């Protein structure tokens, strides 16, 4: 531990927050680790750059930004008399630094396409445990906080809640790089208003308006950026390109792949493989092979697959490569079976393809969003009389009930052709 604490502060010029420093101690070592450096090659917003050309920022930048905000929050909470030890500060900073380390290529876009039934949060936990072994238990406390198993619950809320440092950074950052100004939030103002009561994170009453703007910004960013119809079309196309590649791999078709992607295309990889330390390729575990995967693996394969003999794989790969994105229809009610069949018939007639190929070319699904969830993990407002209440009760201007309602929409996605 003494050796770790002697590391000099690292200064980073961040386009969103300005000059920030990476905390001393274990975090400065974690940043240099290959597992973390990989996040430079994982886009924060997947294929959103196909709609918003500036959205090329990555998970590495976001992780550093969230860690910077965590340092500000710790400073504010300490100034208000809340006890946070140096060990707890180092641990909670490490927890937020590593909170997204489990993301695969293109972040959320391919979350369940490469590995089966494992969330990026679970993979982050597995990475943290592997790093903890390498650093001789230095991450014990960080892992407890990350998994909400540490007695001071508010530390976990700073990492993962409806008002955590993750959200305060990604809303500002995604707004900045996408150019969608509606997502700008007053993160510094909100952090200044934070306090702790009964082991729960609260916001002083004079910060209500900042929280209201935060919730509205989050709702607008979801519908304008994260769930933008063209982004949905692009990401679904990417998902189905990989589905087609996996289908061909399962049938014994030889595909060009990078070494890391090959393992996941030609094998069914679930939680058991990820939790096992057993070597599966060149002496490496499944988790270590996953650590080699990034956006570049996918895109180089798509470029090569665009000339593959399988017409579905080559067509969809060319469409992504050249940004010839599918048409997408979105509505509040489910598409009827008759309408979907009409679209399938038109596509089949146009391409002369089989019914099986249509399963990859005509894509249906749904999206949903709610900006706020009233429940156990709510945003608590600290009144002047020291009582606390949900933001939904405290706000006199904002109908938080509307923001709490889950809005669900249905989409149908298919190649652009001229229908009669």
Tens-digit pLDDT profile for residues 228-239: 999 999 999 999
319 in Cβ contact with 234 (< 8 Å) = no
Does residue 386 belong to any structural domain of this protein? no
**C-alpha–C-alpha distance, residues 280 and 261, integer Å:** 14
Does residue 394 belong to any structural domain of this protein? no
On whether both 107 and 187 belong to a single domain, the answer is yes
- Residue where a domain stops, chosen among 227, 256, 272: 227
Provide the pLDDT confidence category of residue 420 given band limits of 50, 70 and 90. very low
Does residue 146 belong to any structural domain of this protein? yes
On whether both 98 and 38 belong to a single domain, the answer is yes
On whether both 161 and 117 belong to a single domain, the answer is yes
On whether both 285 and 153 belong to a single domain, the answer is no
What integer pLDDT is reported at residue 24 of this predicted model? 85
Q: Is the pLDDT assigned to residue 141 strictly greater than 90?
A: yes
Q: Is the pLDDT assigned to residue 58 strictly greater than 50?
A: yes
What integer pLDDT is reported at residue 419 of this predicted model? 42
Q: Is the pLDDT assigned to residue 102 strictly greater than 70?
A: yes
On whether both 127 and 246 belong to a single domain, the answer is no
Q: Mean pLDDT across the stretch 321-344?
A: 96
Those residues whose C-beta lies under 8 Å from the C-beta of residue 341, and which sit 6 or more positions away, are none
Q: Is the pLDDT assigned to residue 302 strictly greater than 60?
A: yes
Which of 37-41, 276-280, 286-290 shows the lowest per-residue confidence on average (mean pLDDT)?
276-280
Residue whose C-alpha is closest to residue 172's, from 221, 102, 237: 221
On whether both 35 and 120 belong to a single domain, the answer is yes
On whether both 233 and 206 belong to a single domain, the answer is no
On whether both 159 and 254 belong to a single domain, the answer is no
On whether both 185 and 287 belong to a single domain, the answer is no
On whether both 34 and 108 belong to a single domain, the answer is yes
Does residue 377 belong to any structural domain of this protein? no
Does residue 11 belong to any structural domain of this protein? yes
On whether both 202 and 236 belong to a single domain, the answer is no
Higher local confidence (pLDDT), 181 or 24? 181
Tell me the residue range of the domain where 43 lies: 2-227
Does residue 145 belong to any structural domain of this protein? yes
Does residue 100 belong to any structural domain of this protein? yes
What integer pLDDT is reported at residue 1 of this predicted model? 41
**C-alpha–C-alpha distance, residues 284 and 290, integer Å:** 10
On whether both 215 and 248 belong to a single domain, the answer is no
- Residue where a domain stops, chosen among 279, 303, 324: 324
Number of domains in the chain: 2
Q: What is the CATH number of the domain that holds 313?
A: 1.20.1250.30
- Residue where a domain stops, chosen among 172, 196, 227: 227
What is this structure's pTM? 0.93
pLDDT digits (tens, 9 = 90+) for 116-136: 888 899 999 999 999 999 999
DSSP string, 127-193: HHHHHHHHTTTTTHHHHHHHTT-SS-HHHHHHHSSTT-HHHHHHHHHHHHHHT-GGG---HHHHHHT
Does residue 90 belong to any structural domain of this protein? yes
């Amino acid at each position: 531990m003494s050796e770790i604490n002697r590391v000099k502060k690292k200064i980073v010029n961040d386009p969103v927050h300005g000059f920030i420093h990476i905390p001393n101690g274990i975090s400065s070592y974690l940043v240099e680790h290959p597992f973390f450096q990989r996040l430079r090659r994982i886009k924060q917003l997947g294929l959103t750059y196909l709609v918003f050309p500036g959205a090329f920022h990555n998970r590495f930048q976001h992780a550093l930004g969230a860690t910077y905000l965590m340092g500000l929050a710790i400073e504010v909470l300490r100034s208000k008399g809340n006890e946070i030890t140096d060990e707890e500060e180092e641990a909670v900073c490490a927890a937020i630094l590593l909170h997204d380390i489990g993301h695969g290529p293109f972040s959320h876009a391919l979350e369940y396409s490469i590995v089966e039934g494992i969330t990026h949060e679970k993979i982050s936990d597995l990475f943290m445990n592997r790093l903890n072994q390498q650093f001789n238990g230095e991450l014990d406390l960080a892992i407890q906080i990350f998994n909400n198993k540490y007695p001071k619950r508010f530390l976990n809320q700073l990492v993962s809640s409806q008002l955590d440092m993750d959200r305060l950074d990604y809303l500002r950052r995604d707004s900045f790089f996408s150019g969608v100004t509606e997502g700008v939030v007053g993160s510094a103002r909100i952090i200044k208003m934070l306090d702790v009561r009964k082991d729960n994170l609260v916001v002083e009453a004079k910060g209500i308006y900042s929280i209201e703007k935060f919730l509205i910004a989050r709702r607008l960013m979801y519908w304008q950026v994260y769930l933008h119809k063209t982004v949905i079309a692009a990401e679904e196309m990417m998902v189905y390109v990989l589905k087609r590649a996996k289908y061909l791999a399962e049938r014994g078709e030889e595909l060009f792949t990078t070494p890391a992607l090959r393992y996941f295309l030609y094998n069914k990889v679930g939680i058991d493989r990820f939790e096992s330390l057993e070597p599966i390729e060149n002496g490496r575990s499944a988790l270590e092979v996953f650590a080699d995967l990034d956006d570049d693996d996918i895109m180089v394969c798509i470029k090569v697959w665009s000339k593959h003999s399988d017409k579905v794989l080559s067509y969809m790969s060319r469409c992504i490569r050249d940004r010839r994105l599918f048409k997408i229809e979105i509505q509040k009610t489910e598409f009827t079976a008759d309408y979907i069949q009409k679209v399938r018939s038109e596509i089949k007639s146009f391409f002369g393809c089989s019914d099986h190929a249509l399963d990859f070319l005509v894509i249906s699904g749904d999206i949903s969003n709610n900006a706020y969830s009233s429940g156990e993990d709510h945003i608590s407002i600290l009144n002047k009389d020291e009582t606390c209440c949900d933001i939904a009760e405290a706000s006199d201007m904002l109908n938080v009930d509307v923001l709490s309602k889950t809005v669900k929409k249905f989409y149908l996605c298919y190649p652009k052709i001229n229908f009669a």
